[in-house]
Amino acid sequence: MRSLPLPIALTARLSPVVVLAAAGWALSSGPLAATPAAEDRAATQKTDGEQEPSAPATQAVSKTYSAAPAPCDSLGSKSIKSLVPGAKTAGKEIPSTDSKLRRTCSWNALKGYEYRWLDVSFEITQSDDAAKESFKERVADKSGGGDVPGIGDAGYSVVNLSTEDKQQTREGVVLVRSSNALVSITYSGSDFESKKAPASDDINKGAIKAAKEAVAALEDGQKG
């Protein structure tokens, strides 16, 4: 096929450009172009009562609890004497990197050959959803237990037995979620004379008893 003369070839290649340029002129400068006056008239056609829709405002997260309560005041002296015989009822608060959000109190004592240890911890999260997620993860880490009904929004307990140098120790853990707060109880015991651990039922009931008192203290005195 014979090549087109150069001027004709250039014309064929430039034709689409010319068409597009002409169309652009018609839209921007020609009779199809919208004038500022026309745009103003279109904008003023809305009635006085109509307004442009706006994006929904971000709602602040409502938190039931804004600070962790004093953990050493969460249990009555009678309960401490029963659960940790020989311990000072004042307890000892563990240092925290953020005492407003996380606080823990500990009691421990050796009476005769019987040793008991009790920890009560409070943690305040940013929202109920955050507390739910954290509670779910902690329960998954401590599988083998069961639900504890009638305490907070959700309760869970588990008891485990460990042995070191023929000495048994039984530990019970109770986790509770109440709104955006998490309550954790750790209760353990050993008998250094028999090398045996307390009965599983005793440890479990003791941990649940402490959890109920701690949650009551949270709900009664620390609502924001």
9-20 residue pLDDT tens: 333 433 443 333
User: Are residues 93 and 154 both part of a single domain?
Assistant: yes
Confidence of residue 148 (pLDDT cuts 50, 70, 90): very high
Beta bridge pairs of residue 114: 111, 191
Which structural domain range is residue 22 located in?
Answer: 6-42
Specify the DSSP class assigned to residue 151.
Answer: S
What token pair was written down for 200? Answer: 């599983």
Cβ neighbors of 2 (< 8 A, separation 6 or more) are none
**Residue 99 and residue 186 share a domain:** yes
* Confidence band of 63 (pLDDT split at 50, 70, 90): confident
CATH of the domain at 147: 3.40.1000
209 and 125 in a common domain: yes
What pTM was computed for the model? 0.72
pLDDT tens digits, 162-185: 999 999 999 999 999 999 999 999
What pLDDT is attached to residue 60?
A: 55
pLDDT value of position 7: 42
Percent of the chain with pLDDT over 90: 67
Q: In the structure encoding, which two tokens stand for residue 17, read together?
A: 């450009």
Domain assignment present for residue 51? The answer is no
pLDDT at residue 143 is higher than 50:
yes
- The rounded distance, in Å, linking the Cα atoms of 116 and 86 is 9
Residues 21 and 82 in one domain: no
Q: Per mean pLDDT, which range of 46-55, 137-146, 172-181, 212-221 is the poorest?
A: 46-55
Write down the mean pLDDT value for the chain: 81
Let me know whether 37 and 75 are in one domain.
Answer: no
